[in-house]
Amino acid sequence: MNKIVIGIIVAAILIAVFFQQASANPKITICKGQFALCAASACEPTGGRITNQNGDSFPEVKCTCPILYGDNIADLGAGNMTSCEPTDDQHVWSTFWPRTNYPRQQNNFSHDDAQMKGNVVECPASLKQGHAASNCFSWNCEIDKNGLAICSCPMGQEPPETDFLIQSTDTTTDRCFEHPVSLPLVAEFFWTKK
């Protein structure tokens, strides 16, 4: 299937999920301003643990992400985010907004148009990497000296046999093994429990 069509379908799904979840969860909101977009980043385990607002603890990873500006979707009840406002001028929240072209870690955060394009890649359950995928949605990040966001995020929130989607500059599944920031393809993302 055409890469553009797949990208449009994924963006439509994400927007539909947002509006469906927003109606069920008043903490899902749209923030405006500076945000880290980690959707195409791979991460490094730190060996430490990270705890969310609910007190759940997970293995911690560090992810380097570009900082963008504009509307962005956030969950003020997830991660460690409680407000759209950054904690200070040296921090930014890792949130999400569907974009096809933006600086990507695989291309050294280049601003060249050709290098900012990417693909949506499915990491199938058969790879057994669901437990190694990362989630940076609504987590705090520190702005480094290069103007990039260094985000502390959890991994290990899904079982190994979980399908998930990632963004990559190529179409192989190689990046599925690099603790990528992902969208798990699990039922709870597509309907609310009664």
Chain segment 139-148, per-residue pLDDT in tens: 999 999 999 9
- Which of 73-82, 172-181, 184-193 shows the lowest mean pLDDT across its residues? 184-193
Q: Tens of pLDDT along 12-67?
A: 445 444 444 444 456 899 999 999 999 999 999 999 999 999 999 999 999 999 99
Q: Strands 149-154 and 57-65: what pairing?
A: antiparallel
107 SS3 class: helix
What is the sign, positive or negative, of the torsion defined by CA atoms of 103, 104, 109, 114? negative
| Displacement of CA 74 from its chain's centroid (Å) | 11
Q: 26: how many CB neighbours lie within 10 A of its CB?
A: 9
Q: What is the pLDDT of residue 183?
A: 86
